[in-house]
Amino acid sequence: MSMAIAIILIVTGFLAFAVISIRSGIFIKSITKSPFDGGILTFDDGPHPAHTPQILDLLDKYQLKAVFFCIGKNAEQYPELIRRIAHSGHLLGNHTYSHSLSSTFYGPEKYFAEISATTRILENISGQKIKYFRPPFGITNPSIAKAIQKSGLKSMAWNIRTFDTMTNNPSKILKKVKKYWAGDSIILFHDRLEVAVVAVSQLLAENALSGYARLDNVIINRE
């Protein structure tokens, strides 16, 4: 292999890693440790008409608060769930309007339109100020970074990925969360998935999340 080809492969590999690894912070610095007073659960891709209410019931039962990164078009379809999330004291986050893979190839202005539309929808429905953003699939690039910066939102990643989109076995999820759970944890779940409901139910029943951030409305509104 020639030196030129080797350099091209190295550069290509580095750029690919930078795009798919939001935690690398290469294009934009993202929050990778809980900014609250303990670990926190976060949920992507909602609201879901069946599973989001189940997650909310569990959080109410154990008096815990979470961060819900919602898709704009889903929020429009289920505004009552957005209101319930906010009125229950949880934090709403922006997860773009369409959550499409094609959006990761948008230019900064078009991607910014996805973010701003979703912020407007969430704030109008909930009355809550939106401060956090999570890019779909955890993908970042220069265009996405510019759009996030223009939006004024803070990018929030995670440090425990449950991979609930890749398994139907809640035991695998529980094992991983228990192994890595700490006071600075940001756990990534998807509230559109039944396995997430089961895993969260078991985690809370087993009191496995000691040191959970005791968020309340005052803290959420201040943050």
Domains, the chain: 3-222 (3.20.20.370)
pLDDT category, 25, cuts 50, 70, 90?
A: confident
Q: What is the mean pLDDT of residues 155-161?
A: 97
Instruction: Report d(CA 99, CA 8) in Å as an integer.
Output: 31
139: nearest Cα among 94, 191, 102, 93? 102
147: nearest Cα among 118, 105, 110, 120? 110
Is 44 catalytic? The answer is: yes
Instruction: Report d(CA 114, CA 104) in Å as an integer.
Output: 11
Instruction: Report d(CA 55, CA 71) in Å as an integer.
Output: 17
Is 184 catalytic? The answer is: no
pLDDT category, 24, cuts 50, 70, 90?
A: confident
Instruction: Report d(CA 15, CA 158) in Å as an integer.
Output: 20
Sign of the torsion angle spanned by Cα atoms 190, 52, 37, 201:
negative
Residue 209: its pLDDT value, please? 94
Contact 155, 28 (CB under 8 A): yes
Catalytic residue among 37, 44, 164, 216: 44
Per-residue pLDDT tens for 49-59?
999 999 999 99
Q: Which run of H or of E encompasses 180?
A: helix 170-180
Q: How many residues does the chain have?
A: 223
Please, what is the average pLDDT of the chain?
89
Per-residue pLDDT tens for 108-140?
999 999 999 999 999 999 999 999 999 999 999
pTM over 0.75? The answer is: yes
Catalytic residue among 51, 164, 190, 191: 190
Q: In what order do the strands lie in the sheet with 186-190?
A: 154-155, 132-133, 91-94, 67-70, 40-46, 186-190, 160-161
